[in-house]
Structure 1
Amino acid sequence: MSRRLRIHSPAIHYFDMVRRCQSIREAARRLNVASSAVNRQILKLEAEIGSPLFERLPAGLRLTAAGEVFARHVLVVLQDAARASSELDALQGLRTGHVEIATVSGVTVDLLPSVLENMTARYPHITVGVTSLGSQAIPEAVTSGQADIGIAFALRRTADLQQLGVGHFRLGAIVSADHPLAGRREVSFSTCAEHRLILAKSDLSIHHLLAPVLARTRSPQKAALETSSVELAAQMAKRGAGIAFQTRIGIEAELSTGTLVHLPLNDNGQVLSDLGVYVRSSRYLPVAVDAFVRALCEEITRREQYERAETECS
């Protein structure tokens, strides 16, 4: 069994749970302790620090400026304790632990299941949590400690995030097999704009990747559909409702069966989308998290190489 180190004051754990839940009552329920016990520990911390850590609002609790500072310290302490716990387990030959992943939804279709299948076979005692988010929400999930690993396309680099692996995939138009453009090897966005378009909303990285070419193209019509769901865009493209845009990641099965065709964009060269694996900067990774990061990076690299080889052969 994986050990759960309790070498720090319960107040640290109580504070972190209240921060996550924004409610003492809900934190107490998840911790399986009395609300009064949680409140007492929070009051004790506030007395020691000499400043309120939470604002008591009608809608719940919100961190004060002092609370934000203390929360960053608590995050480092708890993540380091998790790392120490996993390293102690590793010394005993164990491969246990828990990994939280925040990922864009396209990765959950085929890439991530392949990694999870292999990791489960190798480390059956590691548990995993997966949350699907838009690319723009993933940095906050990682830096706040809600997720150990972030997987996202085209993230803007910041000092708080460390990129441990990346694959470069061509952005392309996806069309049904009977679409007039389906027989082409590549296509320009301006050519696509002569047909019905399905475009991504601003919370998806695809929107920002297409913005430059969209600005240069005088589209004669408004997009038939705008959506923040890449799954919906792919489904509508498959039904012949228009041309959608994404990488090959997430539509592997449709490409294999021929129900969708992926046409790389060739506007002033290739339009590339970077799929990266991210962790919080300066964090020491627990054994389980490190193993998952390595497996994810290997799978992304494998798929990038496969796409490159397929492009060279076509």
Structure 2
Amino acid sequence: MLHGIALRYFVEVARTGSLSASSENLHVAVSAISRQIAKLEEEVGTPLFERMPRGMVLTESGELLAQHARRALMDADAVLNEISTAHALGSGIVRVGCTEGFTRYFLPSVFATYHAAHPHKRFVLRSGTPVQVEHWVATGEVDLGLAFTTAPSTAVHVEFSVNAPVCALLRASHPLARKDVLTLDDLLEYPVAVLERGTTVRQLIDLCCSIRGRHLEPLMTSNNSSAMHQFAALGGAITLGSAIALQGMQDEYSLLAKPIDEPLLNERRLQITAMKERRLPPSVDQFLMALKDAVTASLPPE
């Protein structure tokens, strides 16, 4: 029991980087947290934190213990959840991290459909960049991650992966709407709205332009894909993204998804990820199956 308490205190300090912040979050005295961490350090025989003027920073040994501790605590929670499920059938909470485009319609729709069949389930949704989503999954801040990627990651476990090419999104009245497949030259002849750097779309389109010796001067950039979709629908520009992002758009704002004949743009994948070596609680594992089905139904087959 002592180790369980000490590890929980340790993980919280590792997360916040502060004894005082951990004390507030755990409702435990700073002295008690400090004492448990000191006992852990005495047991392993090496410092787990560097005590800096602005907080606590994990040492190399601390990083190793943090990876183990997060998994151990979450596995313990999963077992307790299984036990409690026998007394509270269908209960549980699912925490999902995703990139911003999935928050407008796709995930709320999946949550609503799932909730209708499992009314005792609860959800937490957090959105950010692909790097943030990976970090949240790796550290256990969310149970599942949903994001696009251009390269495999060693930081998380891939539960599901499907090809998700970057498409040109444009309204039906756009001159390029008559073409079945577009080229990079087609795109650059018209105003384009793209996401800011740090996203898979921007990474790939910039790389394509660099290889082709072309320059992209976006009419609009944003960190919000919903704003760009509305801008493209209202202003007639082209934006770049995935066909899955068009779900739920009203008729007056509807866009078409056109494939682009660029190999690099077809290398993007959509992944559902979880913490490495973690035993998922039943509530999360059940939702994962529903999420896989929803993703598969929303994208064309590979």
Tell me which residue corresponds to 2:45.
Answer: 50
Is structure 2 residue 180 aligned with structure 1 residue 185? yes
Tell me which residue corresponds to 2:155.
Answer: 160
Distance 1:211 1:269, change over 3 A: closer
Give the secondary-structure state (helix, strand or coil) at the position aligned to 2:72.
Answer: helix
Tell me which residue corresponds to 1:64.
Answer: 59
The answer to whether the Cα contact below 8 Å between 1:166 and 1:301 also exists between their aligned partners in 2 is no
Distance 1:287 1:239, change over 3 A: same
The answer to whether the Cα contact below 8 Å between 2:170 and 2:233 also exists between their aligned partners in 1 is yes
Deviation at 1:279, TM superposition (A): 1.0
Tell me which residue corresponds to 2:197.
Answer: 202
Give the secondary-structure state (helix, strand or coil) at the position aligned to 1:147.
Answer: coil
The answer to whether the Cα contact below 8 Å between 1:108 and 1:250 also exists between their aligned partners in 2 is no
Distance 1:218 1:58, change over 3 A: same
Deviation at 1:81, TM superposition (A): 0.4
1:113-166 residue CA offsets vs partner (Å, 9 max, x unmatched): 122112222333333221101113322221122221111112522333222223
The answer to whether the Cα contact below 8 Å between 1:177 and 1:258 also exists between their aligned partners in 2 is no
The answer to whether the Cα contact below 8 Å between 2:94 and 2:283 also exists between their aligned partners in 1 is yes
Q: Mapping of 1:1-314 within 5 angstroms? A: 9-92=4-87, 94-219=89-214, 222-240=217-235, 242-254=237-249, 256-257=251-252, 259-267=254-262, 271=266, 273-304=268-299, 307=300
State the one-letter code of the partner of 2:10: F
Distance 1:201 1:221, change over 3 A: closer
The answer to whether the Cα contact below 8 Å between 1:98 and 1:128 also exists between their aligned partners in 2 is yes
Among all aligned residue pairs of Structure 1 and Structure 2, give the percentage whose two residues are the same amino acid.
27
What TM-score, normalized to structure 2?
A: 0.89
The answer to whether the Cα contact below 8 Å between 1:102 and 1:147 also exists between their aligned partners in 2 is yes
The answer to whether the Cα contact below 8 Å between 2:193 and 2:237 also exists between their aligned partners in 1 is yes
1:203-260 residue CA offsets vs partner (Å, 9 max, x unmatched): 1111233244323445466222333332232233223263211112222233754543
Deviation at 1:278, TM superposition (A): 0.8
Distance 1:9 1:169, change over 3 A: closer
How far apart are the structure 2 equivalents of 1:228 and 1:204? 9
Deviation at 1:294, TM superposition (A): 0.7
Give the count of matched residue pairs: 302
- CA root-mean-square deviation: 2.6
Give the secondary-structure state (helix, strand or coil) at the position aligned to 1:253.
Answer: coil
How far apart are the structure 1 equivalents of 2:259 and 2:114? 32
1:86-113 residue CA offsets vs partner (Å, 9 max, x unmatched): 2212344622232221111111122211
Deviation at 1:282, TM superposition (A): 2.2
The answer to whether the Cα contact below 8 Å between 1:28 and 1:34 also exists between their aligned partners in 2 is yes
State the one-letter code of the partner of 1:189: L
The answer to whether the Cα contact below 8 Å between 1:194 and 1:219 also exists between their aligned partners in 2 is no
5+ residue gaps, structure 2: none
Give the secondary-structure state (helix, strand or coil) at the position aligned to 1:203.
Answer: coil
State the one-letter code of the partner of 1:150: G
The answer to whether the Cα contact below 8 Å between 2:165 and 2:265 also exists between their aligned partners in 1 is yes
State the one-letter code of the partner of 1:236: F
1:62-82 residue CA offsets vs partner (Å, 9 max, x unmatched): 111121111112112101101
